[in-house]
Structure 1
Amino acid sequence: MNLVLEKKYTIFNIKIENLYFYLMLFFAFSMPLSRASISLCVLLFVSLWIYEGDFKNKFQKIKTSKLLVSFSLLYFLILFSLLYSSDFSLALKFVRLYLYWILIFIIALNLKKEYINKIITAFLFGMFISEFIAYGVILDLWEFGIATKQTPSPFMMHIDYSIFLAVTSIILFNRLLQKDYTFKEKLAIFLFFLSTTGNLFLSTGRTGQIALIFAIIVMFFYNFRFKIRTFIFILLSLLSIYLLAFNLSNSFNHRMKMIQKDFSHLNSGNFNTSIGIRIAYWIVSYDIFKNNPLIGVGAGDYSLAINETLDKKEFGNFVNAKEFMSTSHAHNQFLMIIIQLGLLGLLLVLYIFYLLLRTILKIKNKEHKAILLLFVVIYLASCFTDPLWYKQFTIAIWILFISFITYYELDINYNDIKKEKGIN
């Protein structure tokens, strides 16, 4: 019996719960730095989970979480869509991508509250290394990967990197408002915040730059409630950050002027711009939805549906944008869900975000509540400009922070059950 227990709970004399913790740290640290490490972590987490066994107990815990049940339903809906997807190979791609979400189950079921700050610190350290490399490219100290002076993103696309930077920036900004850190700690946090925010506006990723606006507004309302000083803080922060960025960053200045040009092109009927194409996708997606309202066209047929809609209807001003639209996704996570999974998929996704926000509001740890709320704000805002669940890096950061929220939901449910049974 002792040998069985030792095999079950240890590997190479290391407790399995410690192995989970080390894996969580490695996942958080390496996530901004390597695609391969994300895939490796999936393999290691799943292997450890299978080795550990005890699936009956795990299943009982999963059933108590509305979030985990909702994630499962979304995945089953994607699997069901294979039945009516004509492009089976593309549909399987999304089946594989959503399978990454299994890490939420594994991390949430093995997380401990005292791990969370350490895991976030590991993530921030990974981002620090990524930024160090990016600034080296900006300053012409070295060349690295796909990074350039115009798009200093060493390991991922500039849009994805802007989201990582926005999340890092708001975590640091929020810590500056807390009383739990010493002056020396806040000085280090402030310098890191400056470098992160500077990096965000030196890159060409407008998604993170815009999402940060919403996060800053929510952060001040969360910390100071609806008071006059809150509005003053918001105004001063946004003016300071965005005016400095506009005047000091040629990249940000250029991208902001491009927005003005995009709208002027729209007024003249030209949709072949970054903003114009996104608006065009809303119009095309609505037409697809009207013809496939309940369950969509299937996970694999979004591209086919977009092309058929563009071909069979006369959209006039879309002519110049058609070539790009016919070979790309809808540049919006919610539009992609509507196209692929219809109203049923959209309602399930909205329900997931509702559950996330409801759980966050019940968290008693003030800093954790703020960080998780601000993450959801940034991610939710970013979903309107890009399909974040269809790319490895943005899936990985989703997994990490949503695992924290799901852990808290499981913990809250467990405490509620204890109260019902009168257990101290």
Structure 2
Amino acid sequence: MKSILSAPSQELKDKITLWLNHLLVLYTFLIPIHNGAKSSMFFVMLVLFLYRRDYWFYLKEAFSNKIVQAFLLFYFINAFGMLYTDNIAYGKSHMDKAKYLLFPLMFLSFLDKRFVWRIVTAFILGMLVAEIFSYLIHFGIFPLEFSIGKYEIYEVYRRTSPAPFFSHLDHNVGLALVVAILLYQLLNKRHIPIGVKVFSLVFMTTASLNMSFIASRTGYILYIFIILVVVFLTFKKKIVKVLAVTILFLTIISTLAYNYADTVNARVNLTINSINKVLENEDYNSSIGLRLGFSKYAIDVIKNNLIWGVGTGDHMDEVYSILPEKYKYIVLSLTKPHNVYIQILLQTGLLGAISFLYLIYTILFYKNTTKHKKDIMIIMTLATLVFMLPGLFFGTFTLPLFVVLISAMITNKEQNIEYCDMNRNLLIKYFIFVILFLIIGITR
């Protein structure tokens, strides 16, 4: 017992730091695949982090980073909203999702800059696994749901929109981000091996096709927007000509998708019809209508609670209380506002909105990193601002991914660890650990 409680040697501390970096790579790989496995992985990381001790020594540099401070500020303002909320249960549920805002402080206490692109690659490969499963389900090779005994591996509700591990919205957002990252790498990185170039081009193509039969309007919009962002970042000096060509290319892709992809056609037509029903008849009984109706009445609540908001857990209840009887179904049909901007203003008012804007500002204008990493941060952050419109931020996919990639892009430190390039033995170890934590996550 004494040896367990005693402080670890410096050699062991360095080994723990190395293990934490490897585990963060695997954690990133699991983000698009299984939340339970990812959470189990983080628990092990937390135990190692706590056992390593010397918290102030490892945390002080991370804590001095302005982006980390902005993450912490936004978290604590959300926590402050718990002090004046009545719906404690909903507030606790929200704070459980918001906990990822604390993670950059821990990640930067051990992250080694040599692991940065391995982390990015892990996310890309994780999305590749999700995409492969999606195709296999779409073509009927895999069933819509698969379980081993009482343990569910995945479940898909519609073969026409086969997102196996998370919602169709998360799936398409992840693929859009992969396309953007790979496109940026191809356009801006020199000396890329031919094998990596071929893989990137093939994956970008298959990801684009996969998105066409996944029913996510946000994914379609993000795909177009994020490619334009990559083009702008790459060709600033001759942006007019390149942007014109890009818009023409995206217009052709969009037209083909609308005319030949049934899922895209149906979602676009549904959106148009839903908006017309709202404008002509104030009929909010549709996916888009519910969100528009909620936002309309939420604005009245925001006006009356402008500075502090209504509290972290009361926003749905407060909007419900002012809805006309014939529109009560709006809140009864929604579990969240489906617009993070509206949600922040409802929960914590201008105080929360300003703290969030400060977080975005610190990321977009961060200088202590390379141009390549800074551009990836811009791509990720601007993408976040888009997918927050349908309410995608506080979740088990988008927020963890956001904090991991931002943390990776701002780390500049080379830790005192024995780093080695990827090799067959290390790859086998990674594979074994992934399988192990998938088993733990599925059976827990």
Q: How would you bin the TM-score normalised by the shorter chain?
A: 0.7 to 0.9
Q: Which residue number corresponds to residue 381 of structure 1? A: 386
Q: Which residue number corresponds to residue 341 of structure 2? A: 334
Q: Which residue number corresponds to residue 370 of structure 1? A: 375
Contact between 2:91 and 2:314, CA under 8 Å: does it hold in 1? yes
Unaligned runs of 5+ in 2: 146-153, 415-444
Alpha carbons of structure 1 residues 208 and 114: separation in structure 2 relative to 1, 3 Å = same
Deviation at 1:59, TM superposition (A): 4.2
- Local SS of the residue matching 2:277: helix
Q: Deviations over 1:125-145 (max 9, x none)?
A: 111111111100011111142
Aligned residues: 396
Give me the whole-angstrom Cα distance separating, in 2, the residues matched to 1:240 and 1:9.
58
Q: Higher helix proportion, which one?
A: 1
Q: Which residue number corresponds to residue 407 of structure 1? A: 411
Matching of residue 113 in structure 1 with residue 113 in structure 2:
yes
- Local SS of the residue matching 1:155: coil
Give me the whole-angstrom Cα distance separating, in 1, the residues matched to 2:43 and 2:118.
22
Q: TM-score, normalised by structure 1?
A: 0.87
Give me the whole-angstrom Cα distance separating, in 2, the residues matched to 1:19 and 1:245.
44
Unaligned runs of 5+ in 1: 412-424
Q: What are the equivalent positions in structure 2 for 1:15-414 lying under 5 Å apart?
A: 15-143=15-143, 144=145, 145-147=154-156, 148-178=158-188, 179-227=190-238, 228-269=240-281, 270-311=283-324, 319=326, 322-328=328-334, 329-359=336-366, 363-366=369-372, 368-389=373-394, 391-407=395-411
Q: Deviations over 1:361-411 (max 9, x none)?
A: 653242x3332221112111000111421x212222122112124435x89
Give me the whole-angstrom Cα distance separating, in 2, the residues matched to 1:182 and 1:232.
30
Letter in 2 for 1:258: L
Deviation at 1:226, TM superposition (A): 4.9
Q: Deviations over 1:279-313 (max 9, x none)?
A: 222222211111111111111111211111214xx
Letter in 2 for 1:363: T
Alpha carbons of structure 1 residues 335 and 180: separation in structure 2 relative to 1, 3 Å = farther
Contact between 2:34 and 2:165, CA under 8 Å: does it hold in 1? yes
Contact between 1:159 and 1:205, CA under 8 Å: does it hold in 2? yes
Contact between 2:307 and 2:349, CA under 8 Å: does it hold in 1? yes
Give me the whole-angstrom Cα distance separating, in 2, the residues matched to 1:284 and 1:377.
27
Alpha carbons of structure 1 residues 239 and 327: separation in structure 2 relative to 1, 3 Å = closer
Q: Deviations over 1:230-259 (max 9, x none)?
A: 223321331233223223311011111112
Contact between 2:75 and 2:102, CA under 8 Å: does it hold in 1? no
Structure 1's consecutive aligned runs of 4 or more residues displaced over 6 angstroms after TM superposition are none
Letter in 1 for 2:380: F
Give me the whole-angstrom Cα distance separating, in 2, the residues matched to 1:156 and 1:214.
22
Q: Which residue number corresponds to residue 12 of structure 2? A: 10
Letter in 1 for 2:387: S
* Identical residues among aligned pairs (%): 24
Q: Deviations over 1:96-154 (max 9, x none)?
A: 22223332222222222221111111111111111111100011111142223222111
Contact between 2:284 and 2:330, CA under 8 Å: does it hold in 1? no
Contact between 1:208 and 1:378, CA under 8 Å: does it hold in 2? no
